[in-house]
Amino acid sequence: MSYIEESLSKDEKIETVFRLHWFAWVPMWIWIVLGFVTFGITWLVAIYEYLRLRNIEQGVTNKRVVYKTGIISRRTDEMKITSIETVEIDQGVIGRLFDFGDVRVTGRGISDVVFRRIDDPMAVKRAIESISHPAA
């Protein structure tokens, strides 16, 4: 069971789970290829990178946005939907070409939740905004 499913409160449901773009996995593949040259030494880094990326959970429920990382330990960034002020996209040239980027959800005070190397950031922005500002 995922962290998001496990942490649902009463009357809370998962709206969308966001995926990492395939570009996020490129460093892992580079470490694997380098393993052939380094006699497998860099495969340890590749295994760590695989586990790190595999254990990232990011999504939105009808009550909050959630970003969770951690292989053994757990670190979460969460924000209530009612606290959201802005949803911003940060996309470089490569990100625009391959449709990936970072989505920053800014709330009241100094809190931010950042989804990094996310697939289709415009759809993520729309999903968050449609929940935080539903049509009347």
Question: Which tens digits make up the pLDDT trace of 73-96?
Answer: 999 999 999 999 999 999 999 999
What's the pLDDT band for 132 if we cut at 50, 70, 90? confident
Q: Give the C-alpha distances (Å, rounded to integers) separating 6 from 33, 79, 99, 112.
A: 36, 17, 30, 22
Q: Has residue 34 got a pLDDT over 80?
A: yes
What's the pLDDT band for 24 if we cut at 50, 70, 90? very high
Domain ranges of the chain: 15-132
Q: Considering the domain 15-132 in this protein, what is its CATH number?
A: 2.30.29.30
Residue 99 φ/ψ region, left for φ over 0, alpha for ψ in the -120 to 50 degree band, beta for the rest: left
**What's residue 56's pLDDT?**
97
Residue whose tokens read 């449609």: 130
> By percentage, how much of the chain surpasses pLDDT 90?
88
What's the pLDDT band for 66 if we cut at 50, 70, 90? very high
What's the pLDDT band for 135 if we cut at 50, 70, 90? low
**What's residue 76's pLDDT?**
94
Counting every residue written for the chain, the total comes to 136
Q: Has residue 136 got a pLDDT over 70?
A: no
The token pair at 125 is 């922005």
